[in-house]
Structure formats: structure tokens, C-alpha cells
Amino acid sequence: MGAESLSEAQTGDHARPRTSAGVSFAASLAFEDVSHRFGSTEILSGISLAAKPGEILCLLGPSGSGKTTMLRIAAGIERQMAGRLLLNGREIAGPNVFVTPEKRGVGLMFQDFALFPHMNILDNVRFGLNALSVTAAKREAMAALERVGLDHAARNYPHMLSGGEQQRVALARALSPRPSVLLMDEPFSGLDSRLKDVVRTDTLQILRESRATAIIVTHDAEEAMRLGDRIALIKDGRLVQIGTAAELYGRPASLFAAGFFSELNVLDGEVRSGRVVTPIGPVADSPSSDGTCVTVALRLTGLRLDETDRGVEGRIVARRFLGGVELFTVAVEGLDQPLRSRMRAGLVSENRRDVVVSIDPRDVIVFEKTPEDR
């Protein structure tokens, strides 16, 4: 468990071995051409994607892109205007079918954990188990608390727990009815960055043990890469791309997708004799025909500043020490905007101004321009 890397005093947690999680029957959850609008505003447009049984799928996208609306539709709190929702291949929402939230076997966990302040921890977890007898519900709730390492806090009230502990109670409550799919909306956003790492690692382990399918909403690409077996990138209510972190990072479908996963310098370019030529010279090979207009994205980590003669001359106009790395802004002749580079700290001596900029081909991503881009 990740909490072991922090002391008890740091986390406020008691290090205790957890019991193994109760196992859910993981289900697949599919969106089939789902569209939705609020008033006249289109919020989701023809979304088709599926979380496989036992998979952790992250819905990633900027604020307002429609991620929460997708979760609400999956939970049955909102009903889509077009398309279908399928749980294990069975329609649970469509033009003529609507299975109510409590009959879907889908768990929900919100951003603010939504614990009831006037109920103790055990009662908070027991709340979702009202289909069971009092004794059975208590037993299940205690088992769920044990699973997240918080059975010792069963009689405490939410305000007596740290943010990380409250998150784990919320997780225990969401998992205790053994949902086949767990929907989580920004579950770590209320935690400070140090605690977030620990709680994220723990949550991942608990999700794996419980074997539930999980759909997790986040706007943080790194979080999506840490958690998701796959990531679905959403923009303006549309699916931009779905795949593993390596696929989205390495072969982004658009400049938007590339920019979501890395900081970029963006240049215009043109294909000439099989090479992509930019104002700072050729940067990549290309199979496209001569004259093809392209947008070139250069990851900041792929720009090296040194003294070799293989590259283009530039002048450092700003630099910022960020700990392990340094962020440079470099003016280059022929470019309106300076280039930015992120390099390991200490590689460029402090008083140096003139440098040669070279580019790692692995950090060059080329997109052909569409007529609308021009």
C-alpha cells in the first residue's frame, strides 16, 4: 500500500494490513452513439466507447467538455437524448428503455466524497446497503472499511478524518454494494498533491482487488496516465481519441491531443523532397507530396540547447529553475515566437546566452493541415 511510504504522523493513518477486497462481477459498459443537449446547447455528440470488464477507463478532457454528463448518463441520473447505454450488452438506457439508477448495479463516487457529516463512518458506509439486513449490512460495511484500512475509525465522524481518509471512506461506501461498474468523478481533486499520490496508488490497488470496472473522470493527463488502462480524450462533447497512455502520447490524433499530454512548441511547415521543412530547418521525414502544409509540434523536452554546430542558433531570453529541470525561452531568427525548452537543470551554464538548438526527432509530431486550418 502506498501509504507505507509516508509515516503515520504524516498521513494521519494507522498502517494496518488490509483484508483482500470483496470481488465484484465486472461488467462492460458501452456508450453507443450517445448525444445529449441542455436546452439548445449540444453537450455530447455521438459518443461511442466502451469500458471492458475489469478495466479502468479514464475520461480525460478540459473543463466543460462533458465528462461529468457522461458519468451522470451512465449512472442514470441523466437520460441521454439519443443513442444507447449497454451494460454487459444489455440495453439500460435508450429510446424505449430506461433502467433506474438503483437497478443498474453501478456505483458513483463524487469529487467532494459527499459523506454525511452527522453520521459516523460505519453508518456512512452502511447507507448504501439498505437492501441487506441490519446485521449483514454492518458486516459488509466493516469489511469494506477494513479493505481500505479504516475499520479502526468506524465510530468516528467525517470531520475527524483527514482528506485522504475521507476519500477512502467514500471509496469503501462506493465499493461495499459491490457494483459491477464504479463511476468516479475527479475523486482526488480535493487532496493536496503529496497526499494525492498516496491515495491514488491505494485506490488503484483497491480497484484492482475488487475487480470492478471503473470509469474515472479527470482533467489531468498525468493522472489519467497513472490510473487508466486506457484513456478516452473528450473535447466539446466529442470523443477525440481512445487508447493506452503510450498510444495517446506517442501517436496523438490531433494537435489538441498532443497538447493535452505534453507542452509543445508549434510551428508551420511544408513538405519538400520528403522532408518537413520549418523556419528552423528540416525536422522530420514525410511520405506526403511536395507542398503539403503541416503543423509541427515539438515537445519541450525534445529541444536541446548546447554548443554543437548541428542545429540552429538561438539566444536565451529567459530561464526558470524548476528543481530537477530548467525551462528556457530561446529567440531564434525567422520565428515570431521564441521556442521553449525543458532541460535537466545544470546542463547550460548560468551566464550562457548564445546556444545552438537541436531537436530530438522522437519529440517531433507532424499533422497535415486540413483546409480549415489554413
Ligand X SMILES: Nc1ncnc2c1ncn2[C@@H]1O[C@H](COP(=O)(O)OP(=O)(O)OP(=O)(O)O)[C@@H](O)[C@H]1O
By the criterion CB under 6 A, which residues form the site for ligand X?
38, 43, 61, 63-69, 219
Least Å distance between CB 75 and ligand X? Answer: 13
Q: Determine the Cα–Cα distance for residues 314 and 293; give it in Å rounded to an integer.
A: 25
Choice between 185 and 363, CB closer to ligand X: 185
Least Å distance between CB 69 and ligand X? Answer: 3
Q: Determine the Cα–Cα distance for residues 269 and 140; give it in Å rounded to an integer.
A: 61
Specify whether the CB–CB gap between 92 and 85 falls below 8 A. yes
Least Å distance between CB 64 and ligand X? Answer: 4
Least Å distance between CB 174 and ligand X? Answer: 18
- For 26, the 3-state DSSP assignment is coil
Q: What are phi and psi of 113, to 5 degrees?
A: 70, -30
Least Å distance between CB 34 and ligand X? Answer: 12
Beginning with the edge strand found earlier in the chain, give each strand of the sheet holding 230-235 in spatial order: 106-109, 181-185, 213-218, 56-60, 230-235, 238-243
DSSP code per residue over 39-80: TTEEEEEEEEEEEPTT-EEEEE--TTSSHHHHHHHHHTSS--
Choice between 185 and 202, CB closer to ligand X: 185
Choice between 69 and 180, CB closer to ligand X: 69
Choice between 26 and 57, CB closer to ligand X: 57
Least Å distance between CB 59 and ligand X? Answer: 8
Choice between 66 and 187, CB closer to ligand X: 66
Choice between 59 and 357, CB closer to ligand X: 59
DSSP code per residue over 195-239: HHHHHHHHHHHHHHHHT-EEEEEES-HHHHHHH-SEEEEEETTEE
